Amino acid sequence: MKFKRYLLTAFALALALVYLIPLIWMTLASFQSEKDILASKWIPSKWFVENYKIILQRAKLRTWFVNSLISATGATVGILLVCIPAAYAVSRMEFPGRKILYLLSLTGFMIPTQAIAIPLYLLVRKFGLVNNLLGIIIPALPSSMAVFILSQFMKAIPLDYEEAARLDGASELDVMLKVILPMSLPAVVTVTVLHFTWTWNDFFWPLIVMTSDKMYTLPVGLVALAASDVNIRYGPIMAANVLASLPVIAVYIFLQRYLTRGVVLSLR
């Protein structure tokens, strides 16, 4: 029995290793000279840090990084600010029309961005938000997914906690911010991780809204760079890939325990 367990573990680890080969190669290639890459080497013959220097000297790459950081952070914070009160209202307050508003908050699931990309682009253009990070941030704010995950979680919190706080004279705002919000932390973290990575990784919408290369986000910029610049070939692009991946990997490693818990709970 024990032997079978070891065998299965070994198989799983081997499978994971094979699965991760593209990422391992990406990291190794970022330290290879063009000659090594063209010779299909796994291990660099000389560890070549130039790739990182070349790519970091690119002022635009830094700009794109900052653009991505601002839009992902801005969208995530904004989503929390807008969706937490909305989720609290539909899950913990009693008022006429509650059910209708709850269903309305889920209509976003039925209308994907790609289906309304053209009118949405025209609207954003009308507001003068083309080539503006707000053009990424503001349309992202009414997130049905965020309201869904948060309200699902908030619904499950027993009424007793709230009542105890009310007896102590807590206002509705106190109950939301001091009782329900801290208890909903796994849901808040789930929403944060999901929306941060989704905005950070989004390609389609920034490609449409950002027409000036100074306003590109990292994903759009990387593709433009790989397609346009003949001086920047394989090695530096792989170095840029590694650099672009680090922030989301860090966010994931830091918050993964909460994430799985949050996904489990919202699936329940």
Alpha-carbon gap, residue 148 to 84, rounded angstroms: 10
Alpha-carbon gap, residue 87 to 82, rounded angstroms: 9
Give the 3-state secondary structure of residue 48: coil
CB of 182 to another protein, least distance (A): 18
Tokens at 245, concatenated? 């991946």
CB of 82 to another protein, least distance (A): 5
Q: Which of 56, 177, 183, 207 is the binder for another protein (CB under 8 A)?
A: 207
Read off the DSSP letter of residue 107. Answer: G
Site string for another protein, 147-176 (x = CB under 8 A): xx--xx--xx---------------x---x
Q: Is residue 239 close enough to count as binding another protein by CB under 8 A? A: no
Nearer to another protein, 54 or 207 (CB): 207
Q: Is residue 76 close enough to count as binding another protein by CB under 8 A? A: no
Q: Is residue 244 close enough to count as binding another protein by CB under 8 A? A: yes
Q: Is 221 exposed, middle or buried (0-12, 13-18, 19+ CB in 10 A)?
A: buried
CB of 16 to another protein, least distance (A): 4
Q: Which of 33, 71, 105, 190 is the binder for another protein (CB under 8 A)?
A: 105
Interface region with another protein, contact rule CB under 8 A, candidates 47-55, 106-114, 158-166, 183-191: 106-114
Tokens at 157, concatenated? 């919190």
User: Is residue 204 within 8 Å of 220, Cβ to Cβ?
Assistant: no
Phi-psi map region of 97: left, alpha, beta (phi>0 left; psi -120 to 50 alpha): left
Tokens at 204, concatenated? 């389609």
Q: Is residue 137 close enough to count as binding another protein by CB under 8 A? A: no
Q: Is residue 138 close enough to count as binding another protein by CB under 8 A? A: yes
CB of 75 to another protein, least distance (A): 12
